[in-house]
């Protein structure tokens, strides 16, 4: 009893500490969020000008991370929403909606009136109701400097059949957060974990909420048993029986002033209902101890549910924290988790099959037996490291190292066959990355975007790959990485660049924004045009009063003058950069 009493007392103490931290974070975040609310409101007022659905074919979406990629429940389509892009100086947030047609290998952009505000690190889940619905919860909006955050707690549904967005306003839901996980389970959306961060404080969550898709009501679940520690970025999947599995994730805690310690979680939990009928709302946590070859510790991995009662995770990063820097090892491997057998195993590429090779193998087996034996020795030497060099538009050479496991093929294989089918281990694979977007349709895994780092530089991707999870033979490149899309601006030390009043990006892609401005209805007031060769500071000086007046009209008379000027400068900057 003594030990149990101590554990209970310790648990209550931890709850009190977490509650105090949440209040502290909430207070400090309030001012930051008020600053960002004005910027979000301005972007929403621009979105409100859209009055009709416009669907148009387009090039592949620009590079981004932390968006959502979802498979349409009834059509051979993938739906991409939101995300972020960082170019070294500024953060761009998106709320665009793209649709990828699987059969045609083509993209289209769908502009729908009154979409959710721009965000990243949200969650999306698809249900087959009424022609298909895409549900979106939470996420974050960041200031252009990337140092201030607004965490959403809103819930939206995209009706896929009618192409309409609808915000669902229901009380009792989770607090604002990003990095959480959400799955559709029976007729509910289940949300777990995530974090909330302000400029100086942060808090990680391990709470569980359910949203009923029939009654449109929230409820906070209080499962029995010992559940996962607070975390974000974990794997969360549903089983065929309606239970939920949690694996991994990341969290950090402050061990002393200005010193944080990160934790890569590798534990696994099962959340399931107890009993049936009236007791269906009673949930219980239990610890899972899977067998097999488990994923190496990592964060930023992506997860999906594949065929044959298996979930999977792809990629991620393991950061090695040095005294003054962090070096990350990025991954491009796949791990499967067999939910029926409670077992992990790595995904191995088998290589493409060739009937010609099979026929030749029989005739040449004896003559080339010695060569086959030598090849077997090479196979047993382990993974093959491939080094690729990609030259970005600014001349920077990106060196991408890929460690590829040898394909699990039959032992008999001749040297001439290798020449015919490609060198061992040379299959096309996505480069290592974290925070990519995954979706599975008809047993085929689709992988889009993500990022990796080389030194202090971040590379955000816009490539698209697919692999048949039934066969696991090879990756197919649907959209290649475009080196010209790799922009990186070195961090400026000038106050002008660091000031949030400069460059309130976070909206449409630059090449498209100016087109949208020109498409505004003729009855609307036109913004002052940019003169040829006019510098930004000259344009701002010449038109500042116009933008302040416009910002004040959008924000209302109660808005503080400082905020009005801040938003005005941001609007002017956005318009200037779109124009030039």
Annotate 392-452 with DSSP letters as a single string: -TTSPEEEEEEEEPPP---S---HHHHHHH--TT----PPP-BS-EEEEETTEEEEEEEEE
Query: Sorting pLDDT into bands at 50, 70 and 90, what band is 420?
Result: very low
What would you report as the CA-atom Rg of the chain, rounded to the nearest whole angstrom? 26
Query: Sorting pLDDT into bands at 50, 70 and 90, what band is 124?
Result: very high
Provide the pLDDT for residue 357: 56
Q: Which tokens go with 91?
A: 């953060």
- For residue range 497-531, what is the model confidence (pLDDT) as tens digits? 444 433 334 444 443 443 443 334 333 457 888 88
Provide the pLDDT for residue 190: 97
Task: Give the separation between CA 57 and CA 110, rounded to whole angstroms.
Answer: 9
Provide the pLDDT for residue 165: 96
Which position has the higher pLDDT, 366 or 299? 299
Residue range 286-299: mean pLDDT, rounded: 96
541 CB contacts (<8 Å, ≥6 apart)?
Answer: none
Residue range 132-139: mean pLDDT, rounded: 97
Q: Which of 172, 274, 276, 277 is nearest to 224 (CA)?
A: 274
The SS3 call for residue 230 is coil
* pTM confidence score: 0.73
- For residue range 249-285, what is the model confidence (pLDDT) as tens digits? 999 988 887 788 889 999 999 999 886 544 457 899 9
Q: What is the mean pLDDT of the chain?
A: 79
Task: Give the separation between CA 64 and CA 487, rounded to whole angstroms.
Answer: 12
The DSSP H or E segment spanning 368 is: none
Q: Which of 64-68, 146-150, 353-357 has the lowest mean pLDDT?
A: 353-357
Residue range 173-202: mean pLDDT, rounded: 93
Q: Which of 214-228, 461-475, 496-510, 516-530 has the lowest mean pLDDT?
A: 496-510
Provide the pLDDT for residue 358: 53
Helix pair 2-47, 536-555: axis angle to 10 deg: 110
- Cα torsion through 196, 197, 202, 206, rounded to 10: 20
In DSSP terms, which residues pair with 55 in a beta bridge? 110
Going across the sheet that includes 244-256, the strands are 235-238, 244-256, 259-273, 283-288
Which position has the higher pLDDT, 295 or 557? 295
Find where tokens 């008999």 sit: 412
Q: Which tokens go with 462?
A: 């816009």
Q: Which of 315, 557, 275 is nearest to 434 (CA)?
A: 315
Which own/partner pairs from 268-275 qualify as long-range (CB within 8 Å, at least 24 positions apart)?
269/227, 269/228, 269/245, 270/243, 270/244, 270/245, 270/246, 271/192, 271/208, 271/223, 271/227, 271/243, 271/244, 271/245, 271/246, 272/241, 272/242, 272/243, 272/244, 273/242, 273/243, 274/224
Residue range 223-245: mean pLDDT, rounded: 96
Residue range 150-166: mean pLDDT, rounded: 96
Q: Which of 385, 413, 417, 409 is nearest to 399 (CA)?
A: 385
The DSSP H or E segment spanning 473 is: none
Residue range 540-568: mean pLDDT, rounded: 76
Task: Give the separation between CA 564 and CA 552, rounded to whole angstroms.
Answer: 6
Task: Give the separation between CA 561 and CA 555, rounded to whole angstroms.
Answer: 10
Provide the pLDDT for residue 31: 59
Provide the pLDDT for residue 222: 95
Which of 18-22, 357-361, 371-375, 548-552 holds the top average pLDDT? 548-552
In DSSP terms, which residues pair with 196 in a beta bridge? 203
Provide the pLDDT for residue 540: 86
Q: Which of 337-346, 388-397, 449-458, 538-547 has the lowest mean pLDDT?
A: 388-397
Asked if residue 161 has pLDDT above 70, the reply is yes
Provide the pLDDT for residue 166: 96
Query: Sorting pLDDT into bands at 50, 70 and 90, what band is 156?
Result: very high
Q: Which segments within 143-256 are labelled E, that is strand?
A: 149-151, 155-159, 164-168, 181-185, 188-197, 202-212, 217-221, 235-238, 244-256
31 CB contacts (<8 Å, ≥6 apart)?
Answer: none
Query: Sorting pLDDT into bands at 50, 70 and 90, what band is 413?
Result: very low
Residue range 540-549: mean pLDDT, rounded: 85
Which position has the higher pLDDT, 530 or 7? 530
- For residue range 60-78, what is the model confidence (pLDDT) as tens digits? 999 999 999 999 999 999 9
Do 153 and 140 contact (CB within 8 A), yes or no?
A: no
Q: Which of 120-124, 128-132, 319-323 has the lowest mean pLDDT?
A: 319-323
251 CB contacts (<8 Å, ≥6 apart)?
Answer: 195, 204, 229, 230, 231, 232, 262, 263, 265
Domains of the chain (ranges plus CATH)? 51-349+430-485 (2.120.10.80), 536-578 (no CATH)
Half-sphere exposure of residue 39, counting CA atoms within 13 Å on the CB side? 33
Distances (CA, A) of 556 to 31, 32, 162, 551, 552: 19, 19, 33, 8, 6
């Amino acid at each position: 009893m003594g030990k149990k009493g101590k554990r209970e007392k310790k648990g209550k103490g931890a709850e009190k500490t977490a509650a105090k931290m949440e209040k502290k974070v909430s207070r400090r975040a309030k001012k930051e969020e008020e600053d960002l609310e004005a910027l979000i409101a301005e972007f929403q007022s621009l979105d409100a000008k859209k009055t009709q659905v416009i669907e148009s074919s387009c090039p592949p979406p620009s590079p981004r991370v932390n968006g959502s990629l979802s498979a349409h429940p009834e059509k051979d389509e993938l739906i991409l929403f939101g995300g972020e892009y960082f170019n070294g100086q500024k953060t761009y947030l998106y709320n665009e909606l793209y649709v990828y047609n699987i059969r045609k290998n083509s993209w289209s952009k769908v502009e729908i009136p009154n979409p959710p505000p721009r965000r990243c690190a949200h969650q999306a889940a698809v249900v087959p109701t009424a022609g298909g619905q895409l549900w979106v919860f939470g996420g974050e909006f960041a200031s252009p400097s990337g140092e201030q955050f607004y965490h959403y707690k809103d819930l939206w549904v995209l009706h896929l059949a009618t192409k309409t967005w609808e915000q669902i306003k229901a009380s009792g839901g989770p607090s604002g957060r990003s990095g959480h996980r959400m799955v559709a389970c029976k007729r509910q959306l289940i949300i777990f974990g995530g974090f909330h961060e302000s400029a100086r404080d942060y808090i990680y969550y391990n709470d569980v909420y359910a949203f009923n898709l029939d009654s449109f009501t929230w409820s906070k679940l209080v499962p029995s048993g010992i559940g996962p520690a607070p975390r974000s970025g974990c794997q969360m999947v549903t089983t065929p029986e309606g239970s939920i599995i949690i694996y991994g994730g990341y969290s950090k805690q402050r061990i002393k002033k200005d010193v944080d310690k990160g934790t890569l979680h590798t534990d696994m939990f099962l959340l399931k209902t107890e009993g049936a009928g009236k007791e269906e709302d009673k949930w219980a946590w239990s610890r899972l101890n899977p067998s097999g070859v488990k994923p190496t510790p990592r964060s930023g991995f992506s997860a999906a549910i594949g065929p044959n009662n298996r979930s999977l995770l792809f990629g991620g990063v393991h950061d090695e924290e040095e005294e003054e820097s962090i070096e990350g090892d990025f991954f491009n491997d796949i791990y499967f988790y067999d939910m029926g057998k409670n077992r992990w195993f790595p995904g191995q590429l088998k290589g493409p099959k060739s009937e010609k090779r099979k026929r030749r193998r029989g005739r040449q087996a004896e003559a080339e037996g010695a060569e086959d034996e030598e090849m077997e020795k090479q196979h047993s030497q382990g993974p093959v490291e491939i080094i690729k060099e990609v030259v970005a538009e600014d001349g920077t050479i990106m060196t991408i190292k890929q460690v590829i496991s040898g394909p699990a093929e039959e032992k008999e294989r001749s040297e001439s066959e290798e020449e015919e089918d490609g060198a061992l281990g040379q299959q096309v694979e996505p480069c290592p990355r974290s925070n990519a977007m995954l979706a599975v349709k008809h047993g085929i895994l689709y992988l889009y975007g993500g990022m990796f780092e080389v030194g202090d530089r971040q590379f955000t991707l816009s490539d698209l790959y697919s692999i048949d999870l039934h066969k696991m033979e090879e990756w197919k490149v649907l959209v290649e990485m475009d080196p010209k899309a790799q922009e990186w601006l070195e961090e400026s030390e000038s106050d002008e660049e660091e000031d949030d009043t400069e460059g309130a990006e976070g909206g449409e892609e630059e090449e498209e924004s100016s087109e949208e401005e020109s498409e505004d209805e003729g009855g609307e007031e036109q913004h002052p045009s940019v003169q040829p060769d006019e510098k930004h500071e000259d344009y701002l000086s010449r038109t500042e009063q116009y933008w302040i007046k416009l910002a004040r009209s959008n924000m209302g008379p109660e808005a503080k003058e400082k905020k009005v000027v801040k938003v005005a400068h941001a609007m002017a900057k956005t318009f200037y950069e779109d124009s030039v």
